[in-house]
Amino acid sequence: MKRELIVDCRSGGMRAAVLEDGELVELHMEGGEPDRQTETLYYGRIQAVRPSVHAAFVEIGQELNAFLPLEDGVKLKSGDMLIVQGVAKQTTQSKGLRVSTRINLTGRALVLIPGETGVHISKKVKNPETRARLAAIGRAICPPDCAIIIRTASENVSAEQLQAEAEMLLKSWQETNQRAKGMVKPGVLTKPEPLSLRLTRDLAGNLERVVINDGDEFDALCQAQKDGRLPLQTHIEYADEQKTLLFDAFNLETPIDKALKKRVWLPCGGYLIFDFAEALTVIDVNSGKMVTGKSMEETALRVNLEAVKELARQLRLRDVGGIVIVDLIDMEKDKNRQAVLAALKDAVKSDRMPVKIEGITRLGLLEMTRKRKGEQLRRALRTTCGVCSGSGELLCEEEIARRALRQARRMALAGQRGPFVICLAEKTAKVLAAMPQPENCPPVYALASGGYREKFSVIQPGEGEIPEQAAALQTNK
C-alpha cells in the first residue's frame, strides 16, 4: 500500500490529507489556536472538585476551565497546581478542553509516560520474536519512574536509536517540570509540534512521500529528517503551486465535499445513509440501483461487502467516534454474514484509531465502536442551520398558515380590533389566502412579505390601510 501525506498551509490554517493508494482516507485540520490542540501541556490550578461527576475543573489560562476526570484514589483540592495534558476531545463554544494528568510524550518510536512503570508493546507488532526483542530493549532503556510504549515504527529501529529517543523524551519532561516551577499562574507549558511534523512522525512506518506548499514547513521537515526524527526513506517534496492549488492537483476537494454528505454511493449502485445522533452514529445500507444478481441473497451480499469497505473509509475520513450501528441488507445465510464481518475486519486494519467490532445481531444490525482523536469532520466544517436548528425539517406551509390563523383568532378573543394582516413567506401566504375566513373574527388578510418560512407576524393596520398586495381569506357563501 502506497501512503502519502499532502499538506496545504495556504488556506487559512493547515490541512493535511492522508492518501492510501491515491484515495483520501484521513483529513486533519489545524486553525489559528494551537493551544487548544491535543498533546499540549498546561500548568493548571484546580478551581473546583465535583465528587458527583467524579471530576475536577482546572484553570489552564483559557476562557473556559478544563474538565479533568478523576481516577480512583486520586485526591485533589481547590488551589492545587498540577501539570495536565489536552486529550482527544477538543474545546467547543460551551465546553472546555478535556485534560488528563496522565502525560504522554510522543516520539517517532516511543511514548514516554512519566509517573508510571512498565514496558508496553504496540498491539500492531504481531511477530512474537520481535515483541520479545523490543520488550527486552524497553526494559533496558526505560527511565526510572516512567513507563514507555514501544510503537509500531520501532520494529526496524536499533536499540541505540531507541535509547537516544528515550533520553530525549526524558530530557523534554525534565525541562517541562523546570519550566512549571517558574510559572506563577496557569498557562501553556509546551505546545505540540506542527501538524505536518506530528503526522509525518506518526505515519513514519510506511509513509512514502510528503508534499507540502510552505517553505518554512518544508525546511522544518527536512531538518527533522536530518536529525533522525523522521525516516530517511520518506521523500519530502515542496509544491510551489504556480499552476494549480495543491489539493486540486490531487483531486481532494471533491471527496472532502462528499464526506460531508448524508448519502454515499457505492460502485455497485447501492448507497449508504449516515445519520448522527447524540449517542451514536447509524449507517443504513441500501441496494439502490443494484438490480443484478441471481438472487436477493447474492445481491445483498455484494452490496454489503462493498458497503463495509466504504464505511470503514468514511469513518476514518469523517473521524466518527463512539457507537456505530450499521443496518445491513438482510442475509439469510450465516456464511454470508461471516464474509461481511471478515471484510469489515480487513478494511479497518489500516485505521490508526482503535476499532472494536461486536458482530451482527439477529435483526441484521452490525455493532461496532471506534475511538476518534479530534473533532468530527462535519462539525469542523459545518455549523447548525439557523432555520431548522439542525433537525433538517421544517413545518409545512399548511401548518404554518393554521398557526398564523389561530394567532389572529386569539387576538380577536382578547378584544383586539381588526382587521388583521398576517405577514408570511410567499408560498405560505398563498396557502393562507385559500383558507376560509373564520367566523366571529374580524377580517383576516394574507400578505407575502418574504422572510424565513416558519416566521409570521400579525399586524393591525386599521380600516382603509390594508396593503394592496394583501389577499383576503375566502368568505363562505
Q: Tell me the pLDDT tens digit for each residue of 379-405.
A: 889 888 887 887 888 899 999 999 999
For residue 403, give every residue at least 6 positions away whose Cβ sits within 8 Å of its Cβ, in sequence order, or none.
395, 456
Contact at 8 Å (CB) between 304 and 292? no
With pLDDT > 90 as the criterion, what percentage of the chain qualifies? 62
Q: Is pLDDT at 132 greater than 80 in this prediction?
A: yes
Mean pLDDT to the nearest integer, 51-68: 91
Which grid coordinates belong to 467? Answer: 396593503
Count the neighbouring beta carbons within 10 Å of the beta carbon of residue 214: 19
- Listed in sequence order, the DSSP H helices in 266-318 are 296-318
Mean pLDDT in residue range 335-351 = 94
Residue 471: Cβ-neighbour burial (10 angstroms; 0-12, 13-18, 19+): middle
| Percent helix / strand / coil, the chain, rounded to 5 | 30, 25, 40
Contact 377, 16 (CB under 8 A): no
Q: Lowest-confidence range among 146-150, 195-199, 207-211, 465-469? A: 465-469
- Quickly count: other Cβ atoms within 10 Å of residue 2's Cβ: 11
If pLDDT is split at 50, 70 and 90, which confidence band does 309 have? very high
What pLDDT does 92 receive? 53
pLDDT at 285: 95
Tell me how far apart the alpha carbons of residues 440 and 417 are, in angstroms, rounded to a whole number: 12
- Indicate the helix (H) or strand (E) that contains 8: strand 3-8
Phi and psi torsions of 147, nearest 5°: -115, 155
Q: How many helices (H) and strands (E) does the chain have?
A: 11, 25
Q: What are phi and psi of 229, to 5 degrees?
A: -85, -15
Q: How far are the Cα atoms of 57, 62, 383, 455 from residue 78, in angstroms, in the given order? A: 9, 18, 36, 48
Radius of gyration of the chain (CA): 30
Rounded to whole angstroms, the Cα distance separating 330 from 383 reads 35
pLDDT tops 70 at residue 409: yes
Distance CA 181, CA 159 (A): 33
* Residue 94 pLDDT > 70: no
**Structure pTM?**
0.80
Look up residue 460 and give its three cell numbers. 393591525
End-to-end CA distance of the chain: 78
- Which residue, 306, 310, 217, is CA-closest to 268? 306
pLDDT band of 60, cuts 50, 70, 90: very high
Q: Residues 28-53: what's their mean pLDDT?
A: 81
More confident residue, 278 or 367: 367
Strands (E), 101-238: 105-106, 110-114, 118-121, 146-150, 187-190, 209-212, 235-238
- Residue 90: pLDDT band by 50, 70, 90 thresholds? low
Is the per-residue pLDDT at 166 higher than 70?
yes
Give yes or no for residue 345 having a pLDDT over 60: yes
- The per-residue pLDDT for 35 is 45
Angle 247-253-259 (CA atoms, 0-180°, nearest 5)?
135
Specify the pLDDT at position 232.
83
pLDDT class for 229, splitting at 50, 70, 90? confident
pLDDT at residue 467, rounded to an integer: 86
The single residue listed with the C-alpha cell 467490532 is 357
- Asked whether the predicted pLDDT for residue 342 surpasses 60, the reply is yes
Q: Kindly report the backbone phi and psi dihedral angles of residue 341, in degrees, each rounded to the nearest multiple of 5, phi listed first.
A: -60, -45
SS3 (DSSP) at 195: helix
Alpha carbon distances (Å) from 380 to 17, 135, 260, 322, 450: 15, 40, 10, 17, 31
Taking residues 127-136, report their average pLDDT.
Answer: 93
33: pLDDT strictly greater than 80: no
Tally the residues of the chain. Answer: 477
Query: Which residue reads 471478515 in cell numbers?
Result: 342
The C-alpha cell that represents 394 in the structure block: 421544517
* Region at 35 (left for phi over 0; alpha for psi -120 to 50; beta for the rest): alpha
Which triple of cell numbers denotes residue 408? 389572529
> pLDDT value at position 358?
94
Strand partners, 66: 58
pLDDT over 70, % of the chain? 96
Side chain identity at 17, as an amino acid letter? A
